[in-house]
Structure 1
Amino acid sequence: MHGNVAIDGPAGAGKSTVARLLAQKLGYLYIDTGAMYRALTWKALQLGIDLSDEEKLVSLAVVTTIKLENTAGGTIKVYCDGVDVTAAIRQEKVSNHVSIVARIPGVRRRLVELQRQMAASNRVVMDGRDIGTNVLPEAPYKFFLTASLEERARRRYQELIVSGREVDLETIKEEIRRRDARDSQREVDPLQPAPDAEIIDTTNMGVDEVVSKLVELIKARTKDPLQSSCLR
C-alpha cells in the first residue's frame, strides 16, 4: 500500500509550505497541484484566451505539458511546455483567475489524470483543494488545513510584501473571500474536507508546529514498519 498523504484547504491556509516540508521529512515526492492549475492559467493569460471559453481551455489543457521538479534544496520548480514559470505563476493576475480555470470539468479531468499518474509510481505528499475527496480518495493520510480569513489574508499580504509588491491588506482579504466562495460553490469537486480527513486549524500555529503535528498523526496511524522507520 502506498502511504500517500493528501492535504487540502482554502487559499492561505499554508498547505504548500507545510506539504513541501512534510515531504522532505518523509522522503516523499511533493506534488503541488495548485501550481499545475496556475501554470495552465498563466499560459491561457499569456495567449489571451477568453477564460469564459471552456472548450478552448480544455483543449489547451490537453496539449500543455506541465512538469514539477523537486530541487535538492526542497523547493519546487514548475515548467510549462519546458519554460520555467515558478515565479510567473505566483503573479496576482494568475492568483485572481486560477479558480475560474480550475472549476472547468474537462480541465480538472486532464490534470487529475496527470496527478494520479504521479502518485501511482511514488509515495507522495499532494496538496490542493480536492485531493482527499477526488484525486487520491484512497490515501491513508488525509488532512484539511484551515485558518481564519484574517490570518490567511495576513499571510498572503506578508508574502507579497517580502517579494517587493505594493499591496493592500483589505483588497487581499476580499480576493481570498471571493476565491473561497468560488472554490466551495463550484459544481465539480468543490472545496470540502474528506469525511475521513483530520481538520487542523492553523490560525495560531507556526509552520514547523503544523508539520510536527502531521508527522505525529501519521506515526500514530501507520501500521507499516517501513513507513514507521522513515518517520523516526
Structure 2
Amino acid sequence: MSDTSTIPVITVDGPSGSGKGTISQILATKLGYHLLDSGALYRLTALSVIKNNLDIDDVDAISKAALELDVVFEPQAEGEQKVLLNGEDVGVQLRLDETSAMASKVAAIPQVREALLIRQKQFRQAPGLVADGRDMGTVVFPDAEHKVFLTASPEIRAERRHKQLIEKGVNANIRHLLKSIIDRDERDRTRTVAPLVPAEGAFVVDSSDLSIDEVVQQILDFIGVSEA
C-alpha cells in the first residue's frame, strides 16, 4: 500500500444536527477533495448484508463486506450528496427502516467496527479528503492537518431536525427531539470508547447563529484557503 500520510485531510466532527454533513459536502466541492461520510458506512454495510443475504451471525463475512465496501460519496449542489454502492445510487435504500435496524446490529460487532476503521482510512486519496463524523480527528485521522469541531445549541439542533422531519412528511414533537438530543450528547461525551470531544488543536465553530455560508467561510479562513 502506498504512503498516504502526506495527503491533506480536513476532519469535521460534531454532534447530530450541527450541520457537519452539509458543511463537509460543500467544503469537498469547493476544494475538489474526496468526501467521507463515516456515519453512512454502517448503513452501507447493513445494506450490503441485506443485498447479499448474509447471516448476521457470520461475523467474518460481514467484516469482509465492511472492509471491501465499494462506495463513493459524490457531493452535489446545495450541500447534498449522492451515495453510490457498487455504482448504484442507494440514497433512498439507506433511509429504509430495514436498513436502520440492520445497521444497529452490525454496529454492535467489534470486528465490523475494526474493519470499518481500516476502510475509512482508505478514503485518504489525492488530492485530499474531507472526513465527516464524530471521531475523525481523534481516532481515524489523528494526524490530519486541519481539524474542525462543529457544534450548535441543543435547541437549534432540535429545531433543525424538526424542520427536516416535517419537510419529509414525518410528524415530530420538538420537545421529544430536544430531550433525545440532550440525552445522546451526554452518552456521546461520557462513553469510554471514542467520546465525542474536539480533537486537540481543533477549530471549534458554533453554528447556532451562523448561516451555512458563514460557517464555510470561517473554515476556509482557518485552513488558509481563499475562494476564487
| TM-score, with length taken from structure 1 | 0.78
Number of aligned residues: 220
- The CA distance in 2 between the partners of 1:204 and 1:18, in whole Å, is 15
- How far does residue 155 in structure 1 lie from its aligned partner after superposition? 0.6
**Between 141-150 and 120-129, the greater mean CA deviation after superposition:** 120-129
Matched with 1:60 is 62
Matched, 1:194 2:199: yes
> Residue type of the partner of 2:62?
L
**Between 59-68 and 95-104, the greater mean CA deviation after superposition:** 95-104
Q: Percent identity?
A: 36
**Between 73-82 and 93-102, the greater mean CA deviation after superposition:** 93-102
Matched with 1:125 is 130
Counterpart selection for 1:113 from 112, 118, 121: 118
After TM superposition, the structure 1 = structure 2 runs for residues 43-54 of structure 1, keeping only pairs within 5 Å, are none
> Residue type of the partner of 2:73?
E
Assess if the C-alpha contact under 8 Å between 2:28 and 2:75 holds in 1: no
Matched, 1:8 2:8: no
Assess if the C-alpha contact under 8 Å between 2:35 and 2:75 holds in 1: no
Compared CA separation, residues 83 and 3, structure 1 to 2 (3 A) = closer
Look up the SS of the partner of 1:6 in the other structure. strand
- The CA distance in 2 between the partners of 1:103 and 1:182, in whole Å, is 16
- The CA distance in 2 between the partners of 1:145 and 1:231, in whole Å, is 21
> Residue type of the partner of 2:74?
N
Matched, 1:17 2:22: yes
After TM superposition, the structure 1 = structure 2 runs for residues 15-164 of structure 1, keeping only pairs within 5 Å, are 15-41=20-46, 59-64=61-66, 65-70=69-74, 73=77, 75-80=80-85, 83-90=88-95, 102=107, 104-164=109-169
- How far does residue 193 in structure 1 lie from its aligned partner after superposition? 1.1
Assess if the C-alpha contact under 8 Å between 2:43 and 2:94 holds in 1: yes
Q: Extract unaligned runs of 5+ from structure 1.
A: 220-227
| TM-score, with length taken from structure 2 | 0.80
Assess if the C-alpha contact under 8 Å between 2:14 and 2:150 holds in 1: yes
Matched, 1:165 2:170: yes
- The CA distance in 1 between the partners of 2:70 and 2:218, in whole Å, is 32
**Between 26-35 and 6-15, the greater mean CA deviation after superposition:** 26-35
Assess if the C-alpha contact under 8 Å between 2:64 and 2:115 holds in 1: yes
